[in-house]
Amino acid sequence: MNQHSSSNGRPAVRRGVYLLPNLFTTGGLFAGFYSIISTIHGNYDVAAWFILVATVFDGLDGRVARMTNTTSRFGVEYDSLADLVAFGVAPGVLMYMWALRPFGKLGWLAAFLYVVCGALRLARFNVQINTVESKRFLGLPIPAAAGMVASCVLLFYYLGGTGTIKKVSVLLLIYGLAFLMVSSIRYYSFKDPELVKRQPFGALVLIIFLVIVIIARPEVMLFSLGLAYVASGPVGLLFGSAKGQPKEDSSDQVVAEVNEENGVAYDDE
């Protein structure tokens, strides 16, 4: 038998390419797991960085799947499970151990609420497949919520914030992120290929600028960019209402997303 062919006659390299996006998903799962381990050992800043590492893997696996034409239902489901660990459980455990323990029951309930809302966000994302509107997300994406949590931890480490301000602000942040994830507020998805095609030079300049400012002050800039994105949904909703734009009925129209991890059209994320 040809060494490059499998038993069913399909080239063996095809199986390897098929596994490639799922290896990136596994990388994100590992980053989330290691974040939990770091939290247990009290290395909260390391835990935050690994959540951000998971977001990088989260953005790569879907692109790899589309580039290699290896999207699959298995990859979609595996990606959702990995996301729940990396962007749901890991940030929830980090927030509780780092800032919410003094609140007792209120603290761990807040952390659990974040995890539950993240799971609901992913579940809603997986079942709504009626229409595709890839330019908008319905509700705050769970990777963005996790990135906000991680950048908050890094900012406090950078500024040296402690005490009551940290505890109360984190508690409010967790409740706010949980609500936004299960809300029907629209968020821009940055998945408009026509925009890049129309303004390739402008897009390149913007990317270079963002990379430079993040490298210069990563803790401050990651938090600032994350906060701006999280706030963009409610702000856009308020401005839309002020201008008298008709409000979309999310019960009548399902907005789908293209899964960044696996390139499959989904309704919610």
Inter-residue contact 123 to 242 (CB < 8 Å):
no
Whether 256 has a pLDDT exceeding 60, the answer reads no
pLDDT at res. 243: 61
The answer as to whether 197 is a domain residue is yes
What is the tens place of the pLDDT at every residue in 174-213?
Answer: 999 999 999 999 998 876 666 666 777 777 888 888 888 8
Backbone angles phi, psi at 257, to 5 degrees: -125, 160
Residue of higher predicted confidence among 214 and 8: 214
What is the tens place of the pLDDT at every residue in 22-59?
Answer: 999 999 999 999 999 999 999 999 999 999 999 999 98
The answer as to whether 220 is a domain residue is yes
The answer as to whether 259 is a domain residue is yes
Strand segments, DSSP code E, in 98-224 are 136-138, 186-188
The answer as to whether 3 is a domain residue is no
The answer as to whether 153 is a domain residue is yes
Whether 10 has a pLDDT exceeding 60, the answer reads no
The residue range of the domain holding 230 is 12-239+253-266
Q: How far apart are CA 80 and CA 64, in angstroms?
A: 17
The answer as to whether 5 is a domain residue is no
Distances (CA, A) of 243 to 7, 30, 120: 63, 45, 31
The answer as to whether 245 is a domain residue is no
Cβ neighbors of 33 (< 8 A, separation 6 or more) are 85, 86, 90
> Which has the minimum average pLDDT: 47-61, 111-125, 250-264?
250-264
Query: In this structure, what CATH number is given to the domain that contains residue 64?
Result: 1.20.120.1760
The number of domains in the chain is: 1
Q: How far apart are CA 226 and CA 146, in angstroms?
A: 10
Q: How far apart are CA 199 and CA 145, in angstroms?
A: 29
The answer as to whether 244 is a domain residue is no
Whether 73 has a pLDDT exceeding 90, the answer reads no
Whether 144 has a pLDDT exceeding 90, the answer reads yes
